[in-house]
Structure 1
Amino acid sequence: MSQPEFDTYATSPRTLTVEDLQVSVGDHLVAVNGVSFQIRRGEAVGLVGESGSGKTLTCRAVLGLLPETGEVDAGTITLGEGATAVDLTGAARPTWDRVRGARIGAVFQDPGSYLNPSISVGRQLVEQLRVRGGLGRTEARERAVELFGEVGLHDPAGVFHHYPHQLSGGMLQRVLIAIAVACDPELLIADEATTALDAVIQAEILELIARLRRDHELSLLLVTHDLAVVAETCDRILVMYGGEIVESGPTEQVLTDPRHPYTRALLSVATIGDWSRRTLEVIPGQPPAAGAQMPGCRFAPRCRYAAQACLGGQVPLTEIGTGRSARCVRLDELVTDASPIPDRIEASA
């Protein structure tokens, strides 16, 4: 891992500020509860956790693309700061038309699902450049070919005329990235953008995103379940479980010295730096369903360290150092160095 020090971005302008976000789905079932974080200019933040932890709903809220049954019940979402700040909380359609695609770009897991199969990929990029970027037809066409070249597509002028079904998954993802960054957005949201790709193409896409960050001071919110991807890509990490952030901090610190039992559990089933391991490990039990009412720590039913104190009410997110926090009532009791984790810490009376 070679991320910059945490303080590198401490004085940079805020690109995104999310405060006490609460999102409900269905019959007012709270699926995201009290989520707060910031992303600064040029910074890459990884959002990790099992399926159902609230990662994608958080990103969809930021993009204003919640499902029909989803709703932001509380909290604020702010893009930028100072004179350029835009409150996206409950924003109307005209605001989203000015922001989405222009100041915020997005790349998703299945790029083919987000491209019109009946229109060439070049025309789709030209449309983005004309509608969001304000370019004329000729200028937009020339810029589209340039962008296809910048994202690593061979024969960009030829690809311009291709339809989505004529391109591979990796090429489609590059097309979607070109569309996402066409108008020089401040923030790129990549939601499982490399999950469906093979290892070689995944590495190329991640390198492309890293280059775009360097060249354009682009902020990145990377949603993934792959800790190895986060280790190579992100400066900070947010670990989500049951709709809450349970641990956050500089990526290297969190991955080498995890403080929350759930983060440790995720690392125990990961293969970061240990590709020779063949034993499949799993986290016992299942994550809580959206809206499930629980008396204390939401991870307690699956936690090897669970004690009676864990059931005593909502557990706050506690600062544990510069830029680090975790949500656990037994932080001071658990092992914090590199020594082996004990098999079990007996529950207190």
Structure 2
Amino acid sequence: MPLSPERVLDVRDLQVSVGDHLVAVQDVSFQIGRGEAVGLVGESGSGKTLTCRAVLGLLPTTGEIDHGRIVLGDGADAVELTGARRSTWDQVRGVRLGAVFQDPASYLNPSLTVGHQLAEQLRVKAGLSRAAAHRRSVELFTEVGLHEPESVFHQYPHELSGGMLQRVLIAISVSCEPELLIADEATTALDVVIQAEILELLRRLRETHGLSLLLVTHDLAVVAETCERILVMYGGQVVESGPTAEVLGDPQHPYTRALMDVATIGNWERRTLDVIPGQPPAAGERMPGCRFAPRCRYAAAACVAGPVPLVDLETEGRSARCARLGEVLTESALEEVSA
């Protein structure tokens, strides 16, 4: 898999277990280049959030990185995050690495004003004085599109809408000019109008701050609009990756094709809702071959005979994990199935 130039994140052979040594994320490798937006997609339980939590050093108490490497930055500025000490995380989280999540209210202290919480971040992480932190907080609230930012500064989380809270959390996350922002389902709980505004905000912040973005979502339309590259996860593994337009335009893994079939992307007039039959494997479930095989219309003996590697394709930057790669997703095969 080719490396992105000027990497801000390099994840190699990551394996994460939860509970009683149940492997929930396995053989995950990817890189994010400076200023690049990468979409991480897949059904619930595919390992997207656990992968992000590993990068952020926020695994649940039962979670553990079994092996692999997570490196933030490149060259002399590179920091090994796997097994990092608390002092290292204090220097990285909120400074070089930011994050926003699905329910912003859960990540804000209800007993403190949102302005106090942003100003505290600037005082602790950026070393600003109280007055300077106040001024910079108001500037950031303005930048993320909050009207009457001075008034918002003095409001509590319960006084703000979900969209406003998400803007507050984004302001906190970018306040110290991080290299990478991880947005984990950051627009899922918002209505479509506010969702579009938040996505536009993230796009603008990428341009003005030189920000790299890891966008976790189940919405392919959001990825198509926002991200240059896409990673498709299933059963704790990356099953396909590559430039977004190429992956969505010509998917090489049956799971990616199945996601396209159930999405509304490019087909807004469709009235029926397709589904992928069956259920994803449970975390830690042992399977000898392809984890998607029980739900795959193309599954054959080769698919369950043994582990299926992630293979680099002829197109630079593209890879897929399929035992029948190149056999089943040709145009003629798809026409035969739909006939």
* 1:53 equivalenced with 2:51 (yes/no): no
The 1:341/1:33 distance shift into structure 2, 3 A limit, reads farther
Which of 13, 17, 42 is matched with 1:24 structurally?
17
Query: 2 CA distance for matches of 1:96 and 1:11?
Result: 24
The secondary structure found in structure 1 opposite 2:280 is: coil
The 1:313/1:11 distance shift into structure 2, 3 A limit, reads closer
Query: 2 CA distance for matches of 1:71 and 1:156?
Result: 41
Stretches of structure 1 lacking an aligned partner (at least 5 in a row) = 1-8, 345-349
Superposed counterparts of 1:149-160, under 5 Å:
149-160=142-153
- Kept in 1, the 8 Å contact 2:14–2:69? The answer is yes
Paired letter, 1:45? V
- Kept in 1, the 8 Å contact 2:162–2:190? The answer is yes
Query: 2 CA distance for matches of 1:273 and 1:121?
Result: 39
Aligned residue number for residue 4 of structure 1: none
Deviation at 1:11, TM superposition (A): 6.3
Q: How many residues align?
A: 337
- Kept in 1, the 8 Å contact 2:179–2:211? The answer is yes
Query: 2 CA distance for matches of 1:15 and 1:342?
Result: 44
Superposed counterparts of 1:279-318, under 5 Å:
279-318=272-311
- Kept in 1, the 8 Å contact 2:123–2:130? The answer is yes
Deviation at 1:278, TM superposition (A): 1.5
The 1:280/1:50 distance shift into structure 2, 3 A limit, reads same
Query: 2 CA distance for matches of 1:338 and 1:180?
Result: 48
Query: 2 CA distance for matches of 1:338 and 1:235?
Result: 29
Deviations 1:261-280 (A, max 9, x none): 00000011000022221211
Deviation at 1:152, TM superposition (A): 0.2
Which of 324, 328, 333 is matched with 2:327 structurally?
333
Query: 1 CA distance for matches of 2:258 and 2:27?
Result: 23
Query: 2 CA distance for matches of 1:338 and 1:153?
Result: 52
* 1:342 equivalenced with 2:336 (yes/no): yes
Aligned residue number for residue 167 of structure 1: 160
Deviations 1:163-220 (A, max 9, x none): 0000000000000000000000000000000000000000000000000001111000
Paired letter, 2:337? D
* 1:116 equivalenced with 2:109 (yes/no): yes
Aligned residue number for residue 3 of structure 1: none
Stretches of structure 2 lacking an aligned partner (at least 5 in a row) = none
The 1:88/1:10 distance shift into structure 2, 3 A limit, reads closer
Query: 2 CA distance for matches of 1:105 and 1:98?
Result: 12
Query: 2 CA distance for matches of 1:45 and 1:342?
Result: 33
Aligned residue number for residue 136 of structure 1: 129
The secondary structure found in structure 1 opposite 2:336 is: coil
* 1:75 equivalenced with 2:68 (yes/no): yes
The secondary structure found in structure 1 opposite 2:281 is: coil
Query: 2 CA distance for matches of 1:341 and 1:21?
Result: 37
Paired letter, 1:330? R
The 1:214/1:233 distance shift into structure 2, 3 A limit, reads same
Aligned residue number for residue 323 of structure 1: 317
Q: TM-score, structure 1 length as denominator?
A: 0.94
Query: 1 CA distance for matches of 2:243 and 2:4?
Result: 16
Q: Which runs of 4+ in 1 moved over 6 A?
A: none
Deviation at 1:341, TM superposition (A): 4.2
Which of 222, 247, 259 is matched with 2:252 structurally?
259
- Kept in 2, the 8 Å contact 1:257–1:336? The answer is no
The secondary structure found in structure 2 opposite 1:208 is: helix
Aligned identity (percent) is 74
- Kept in 1, the 8 Å contact 2:3–2:31? The answer is no
Paired letter, 1:343? V
Deviation at 1:337, TM superposition (A): 4.5
The 1:96/1:70 distance shift into structure 2, 3 A limit, reads same
The secondary structure found in structure 2 opposite 1:342 is: helix
Query: 1 CA distance for matches of 2:329 and 2:114?
Result: 53
Deviation at 1:12, TM superposition (A): 3.4
Superposed counterparts of 1:164-203, under 5 Å:
164-203=157-196
Which of 128, 138, 151 is matched with 1:145 structurally?
138
Query: 2 CA distance for matches of 1:164 and 1:325?
Result: 43
- Kept in 1, the 8 Å contact 2:253–2:329? The answer is no
Aligned residue number for residue 102 of structure 1: 95
